[in-house]
């Protein structure tokens, strides 16, 4: 599947006691036919009132706490299977809800942002995480600096720029910033250009996945950080390489992410090794 070009494998692990292992993720990502950004593993529910417990694995085998585009793909897949359009899920970051809308888009309540430095987390004490001391490039003329930091369950840094987001070598700066010691759990790194109070252009280097065509939690982080720094309204269109997402930071502090999800093809794979086969009936 994909969520706005963010390549997602949705794995149905219901009724099973095993998990998708990092080795399987690395093997699947090593095959051009199954290269992906995240695996969303749907497990039996652990908490009454939830439909499933969802584990998230990046293409480098690391586990993530949240994945907005991936959650939309999970809603899309389950709705296609059962016809039910509203879901409550549990992830390691907490409870979140998703809904397949009549217009074909999918909305996911990504929960509340965490802005306190220890919740992001950062390795140093910053009491104002709207603008932390982090820069890259020449010391007297940094290329990127003073990002806003927030957690959507996973850590994000939003660097504000006023040039075209494509004029920055994010493929070079991304890994340096992702692995910077200020982020003890690494971080997702985004470059954001605010073109209107309700419109952000965004590119993301994802923790554990690299450059992706869209990143749902980064879109949420950019909107929240845009409001915190008085650059944007509480709802905006986030234009990413794969297309547009709509993000709204509601008055109840929940962040709502709306966008598409698409099925590409189905198959089966071994959750321990990543050995896979494509299903006969092509569904794309
Ligand atoms: N790479 C992210 C997880 C996936 C985020 C992204 N694909 C999304 O749609 O939110 C992390 O390790 O925190």
ipTM of the complex: 0.95
Q: Count CA within 13 A, CB hemisphere, residue 261.
A: 29
Mean pLDDT across the chain: 97
Residue 220 has pLDDT above 80, yes or no: yes
Q: Please indicate if the annotation marks 68 as binding a ligand.
A: yes
Task: Identify whether 67 is a catalytic site residue.
Answer: yes
Q: What is the pLDDT of residue 282?
A: 52
Mean pLDDT of 36-41: 98
Q: Please measure the distance between the N-terminal and C-terminal CA atoms of the chain and give it in whole angstroms.
A: 9
The Cα 40–Cα 20 span in angstroms is 9
CB of 209 shorter than 6 A to ligand 1 = yes
CA distances from 198 to 7, 97, 115, 235 (A): 26, 24, 21, 6
Q: Is 225 annotated as a binding residue?
A: no
Predicted local confidence at residue 284, as pLDDT: 47
75 contacts 87 by C-beta, under 8 angstroms? yes
Q: Which residues pair with 253 in a beta bridge?
A: none
For ligand 1, whether the C-beta of 71 sits within 6 Å is no
Give the confidence band of 144 by pLDDT, cuts at 50, 70, 90. Answer: very high
pLDDT band at 280 (very low <50, low <70, confident <90, very high): confident
Active-site choice (27, 57, 67, 132): 67
Q: What proportion of the chain, given as a percentage, has pLDDT over 70?
A: 99
Question: Tokens in use for 212?
Answer: 């992706």
User: Mean pLDDT throughout 171-176?
Assistant: 97
CA of 280 to the centre of ligand 1 (A): 30
Give whole-number Cα distances, 21 to 114, 187, 226, 271, in Å.
29, 22, 36, 6
Question: Residue range 109-129: average pLDDT?
Answer: 97
* CATH numbers and ranges of domains, the chain: 2-111+261-276 (3.10.310.10), 117-249 (3.10.310.10)
Answer yes or no: 73 catalytic: no
Q: Is 151 in the pocket of ligand 1 (CB under 6 A)?
A: no
Which two structure tokens, joined as six digits, stand for 155? Answer: 């850590």
The set of residues, in sequence order, having a beta carbon less than 8 Å from that of 183 and lying 6+ positions away, is: 120, 121, 122, 123, 155, 157
Determine the residue of 70, 110, 187 to mutate for testing ligand 1's pocket, defined as the one with the most ligand atoms within 8 A of the Cβ atom. Answer: 70
User: Cis (ω within 30 of 0) for the bond into 194?
Assistant: no
User: Which of 73, 154, 185, 224 is the best mutation target for the ligand 1 pocket, counting ligand atoms within 8 Å of the beta carbon and taking the most?
Assistant: 154
Q: Is the CB of 153 under 6 A from ligand 1?
A: no
Backbone torsion region of residue 214, taken as left when φ is above 0, otherwise alpha when ψ lies between -120 and 50, otherwise beta = beta
178 pocket-lining for ligand 1 (C-beta < 6 Å): no
CB of 2 sitting under 6 A from ligand 1: no
Give the pLDDT band (50/70/90) at residue 40. very high
Taking the centre of ligand 1 as the mean of its atom positions, its distance from the CA of residue 141, in whole angstroms, is: 30
Is 212 flagged in the annotation as binding? no
Q: Determine if the pTM surpasses 0.95.
A: yes
Phi-psi region at 20: left, alpha or beta (left = phi > 0; alpha = psi -120 to 50) = beta
What pLDDT does residue 276 have? 96
Among residues 134, 215, 224, 236, the one annotated as catalytic is 215
For residues 74-88, give the mean pLDDT: 97
Q: How many residues belong to the chain?
A: 284
pLDDT digits (tens, 9 = 90+) for 180-219: 999 999 999 999 999 999 999 999 999 999 999 999 999 9
Taking the CA atoms of 114, 118, 121 and 122 in sequence, report the sign of the dihedral they define.
positive
């Amino acid at each position: 599947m994909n969520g706005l070009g963010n390549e997602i494998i949705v794995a149905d692990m219901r009724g099973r006691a095993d998990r998708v292992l990092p080795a399987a993720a690395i093997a699947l990502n090593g095959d051009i036919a199954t290269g992906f950004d995240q695996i969303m593993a749907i497990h039996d529910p652990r908490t009454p009132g939830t439909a499933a417990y969802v584990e998230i694995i990046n293409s480098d085998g690391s586990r993530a706490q949240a994945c907005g585009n991936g959650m939309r793909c999970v809603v899309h897949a389950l709705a296609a299977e059962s016809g039910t359009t509203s879901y409550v899920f549990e992830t390691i970051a907490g409870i979140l809800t998703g809904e397949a809308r009549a217009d074909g888009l999918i909305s996911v309540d990504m929960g509340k942002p965490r802005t306190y430095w220890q919740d992001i987390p950062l390795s140093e004490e910053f009491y104002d995480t709207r603008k932390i001391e982090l820069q890259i490039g020449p010391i007297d003329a940094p290329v990127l600096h003073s990002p806003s930091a927030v957690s959507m369950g996973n850590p994000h840094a939003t660097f504000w720029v006023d040039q075209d987001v494509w004029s920055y070598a994010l493929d070079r700066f991304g890994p340096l910033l992702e692995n910077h010691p200020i982020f003890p759990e690494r971080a997702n790194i985004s470059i954001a250009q605010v073109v209107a109070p309700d419109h952000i252009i965004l590119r993301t280097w994802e923790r554990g996945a690299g450059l992706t065509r869209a990143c749902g939690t980064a879109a949420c982080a950019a909107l929240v950080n845009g409001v915190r720094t008085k650059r944007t309204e509480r709802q905006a269109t986030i234009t990413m390489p794969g297309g547009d997402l709509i993000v709204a930071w509601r008055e109840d502090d929940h962040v709502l992410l709306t966008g598409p999800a698409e099925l590409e093809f189905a198959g089966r794979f071994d959750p321990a090794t990543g050995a896979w086969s494509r299903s006969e009936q092509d569904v794309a």
